[in-house]
Amino acid sequence: MNYEEPYRVPVYLGNQKGQISLASAVDIALMGSEHQLDQLDAGIAALAKHGAGWVITQYEMTINRMPKAEEQLTLGTAATTYNKLMTYRDYWIKDEAGNELMRFTGAWVMMDLTTRKLIPVIADFAARVGAPFDTHVKRFPRLAKLSGEVQAVPYRVRYFDIDENGHVHNTRYLDWMEDSLGADFLNSHELTGASIKYAREVAYGTQPEAQFTVSADGLETAHQVVTDGVVNAEAQLRWRDRH
């Protein structure tokens, strides 16, 4: 069941390049999917009545170019399939001419909001979004590990990083990872893709580190968010030189 809606990027989301960050791009795509879910009575509020919430486990992204500040876009999404423990959803962002700027797939699980443990997918919610049951477990590409000189930037989890499910919003990890590379790298490179895998929640008030390494050609970066020696998330970002 495909869903699309128009969206104009606010000027305040623009960075030094006049583009939005990877975290902001995922945020607006997720906003579109939340609008679809709310229309189908399958959103955060509806799921909370069952004491449950959605938790992302992985994203796999292809990026043609990042959206620009004040650009008119179309946000699209579709729930694809689900199995006993996971659901899969596609997202896409198009420009005003209909060109696809980025597309990504997310793998989600359901969590008991009280125990913070995973629970089986509630089939009724999958049915509301038209996702068929399929026992197939989608395999995502294996992530590159940090190798060589590891650099690290500390961050602090703020009150405003916590979402309605009571944990750090999933795009904050992307924000930390991208930001840790620094202005010189970000101003001279453009994203072409990203893979991220979430492992453990980061708690409010803690100080995680965004660790990263850069490949020899400078076109791939490997990332981890680590708190007290525990890996919370890992990712691989793919780049091209900015001309």
> Do 64 and 155 lie in a common domain?
no
Q: Which of 91, 113, 128 is the endpoint of a domain?
A: 128
Q: Give domain status of residue 9, yes or no.
A: yes
112/121 Cα distance (integer angstroms): 11
- For residue 128, the model assigns a pLDDT of 92
Same-domain status, 7 and 68: yes
| 56/78 Cα distance (integer angstroms) | 15
By residue range, what is the domain housing residue 219?
151-241
Q: How big is the CA angle at 189 (ends 185 and 195), to the nearest 5 degrees? A: 95
Whether residues 234 and 174 share a domain: the answer is yes
Q: What is the CA radius of gyration of the chain?
A: 18
- Whether 144 maps to a domain, the answer reads no
- The answer to whether residue 134 sits within a structural domain is no
The DSSP bridge pattern shows strands 3-8 and 151-154 to be: unpaired
Same-domain pairing of 219 and 122: no
Q: Are 67 and 73 in contact (CB under 8 A)?
A: yes
Domain identity same for 186 and 92: no
| 11 and 122 assigned to the same domain | yes
**What is residue 167's predicted lDDT score, i.e. its pLDDT?**
79
Residues 45 and 119 in one domain: yes
In a domain, 91, yes or no: yes
DSSP state of 189: E
Nearest alpha-carbon partner for 146 in 236, 62, 218, 22? 236
70 falls within a domain: yes
Which one of 128, 160, 180 terminates a domain? Answer: 128
135: in domain? no
Model's pTM, two decimal places? 0.93
| Residues pairing with 3 in the sheet | 77
Q: Give me the tens of pLDDT residue by residue for the chain, a chain 243 residues long.
A: 899 999 999 999 999 999 999 999 999 999 999 999 999 999 889 999 999 988 999 999 999 999 999 999 999 999 999 999 999 999 999 999 999 999 999 999 999 989 989 999 999 999 999 999 999 899 998 998 898 899 999 999 999 999 876 778 899 999 999 999 999 999 999 999 999 999 998 988 899 999 999 999 999 999 999 999 999 999 999 999 987
Q: Residue 141: inside a domain, yes or no?
A: no
* Of the candidates 141, 151, 145, 231, the residue with the CA atom closest to the CA atom of residue 194: 141
Q: How many domains does the chain have?
A: 2
146 falls within a domain: no
CATH number at residue 232: 3.10.129.10
Q: Which of 166, 169, 160, 155 is nearest to 225 (CA)?
A: 155
